[in-house]
Structures are given as structure tokens and as C-alpha cells.
């Protein structure tokens, strides 16, 4: 599979997020998943995000949370541009359009020493 995007499994221990080409790849306690890397809010690189205790992918800029199984934004951003903090109406607005415009989702599987995005 010459065009597959991959990441060494050693670089993706449980509870972490990594990058494989255009995909943010997560390891949720041994289960891998991949979503498109650009946050639906202001395009932050989600491969630099983190996983929370619920297994959601958290954007590194304003904390929007994504369900990596569906690509849906399950909690809107807290802030915009350089501001980080509560923005109740705005947060709801972003979440509303993100519910229509989900992240793309791909399967990610362990193959030998790598995790491969299909
Ligand atoms: S860019 Fe992701 S929450 Fe703002």
C-alpha cells in the first residue's frame, strides 16, 4: 500500500495523538482512529491536540472537543483567535455549523510496526 499514510506505532502510545499525512491519529487505549487534521473552528492542527478522559480529541487552540468515531464536534471552542475563555453564544454557533461539517473519519489499524490510515 504505497500511498497509505502511516505513523510508527512506537510514536503513538495509548492516550496520545500523532500525525500521518493529512490525518490526526489517536490511540484510545489500544484502539486507533484517524480524523482530518484541521479543526472546524479556525483550522488548528488537531494532530497537536490531546485526548481527554472520555477519549475525545481536544483542539490545541480553543479546546473544541471531537468524537473521533464520528468526527462530530461534541463541545464548541472556548475563545477565538488569541483569546481563550468563555464565549457562550459564539461557542454554540460554531458547534451548530460543525455539526453539519464534521471532520472526515478513517479507519486506522496496526500493521507490523506501523499504524496505517486506510
Ligand atoms: S481552532 Fe480549534 S477550537 Fe479554535
Query: pLDDT tens, 77-108?
Result: 887 777 787 777 777 877 777 777 899 999 99
Q: Is the pLDDT of residue 2 over 60?
A: no
Whether CATH 2.102.10.10 fits 5-117: yes
Amino acid 3: pLDDT: 61
Amino acid 99: pLDDT: 74
Confirm or reject: Cβ of 62 under 6 Å from ligand 1.
yes
Q: What is the pTM of this model?
A: 0.88
Confirm or reject: Cβ of 41 under 6 Å from ligand 1.
yes
From the list 1, 42, 37, the residue with the least C-alpha distance to 19 is: 37
Sign of CA dihedral 39, 43, 46, 51: negative
Amino acid 48: pLDDT: 98
Instruction: Give the whole-number percent of the chain exceeding pLDDT 70.
Output: 97
Confirm or reject: Cβ of 37 under 6 Å from ligand 1.
no
Amino acid at each position: 500500500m504505497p500511498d497509505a499514510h502511516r505513523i510508527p506505532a512506537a510514536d503513538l502510545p495509548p492516550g496520545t495523538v500523532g500525525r500521518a499525512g493529512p490525518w490526526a491519529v489517536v490511540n484510545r487505549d489500544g484502539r486507533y482512529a484517524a480524523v482530518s487534521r484541521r479543526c472546524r473552528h479556525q483550522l488548528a492542527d488537531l494532530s497537536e491536540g490531546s485526548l481527554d478522559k472520555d477519549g475525545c480529541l481536544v483542539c490545541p487552540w480553543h479546546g473544541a472537543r471531537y468524537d473521533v468515531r464520528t468526527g462530530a464536534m461534541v463541545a464548541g471552542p472556548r475563545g477565538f483567535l488569541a483569546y481563550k475563555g468563555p464565549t457562550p453564544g459564539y461557542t454554540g454557533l460554531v458547534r451548530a455549523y460543525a455539526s453539519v461539517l464534521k471532520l472526515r473519519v478513517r479507519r486506522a489499524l496496526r500493521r507490523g510496526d506501523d499504524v496505517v490510515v486506510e
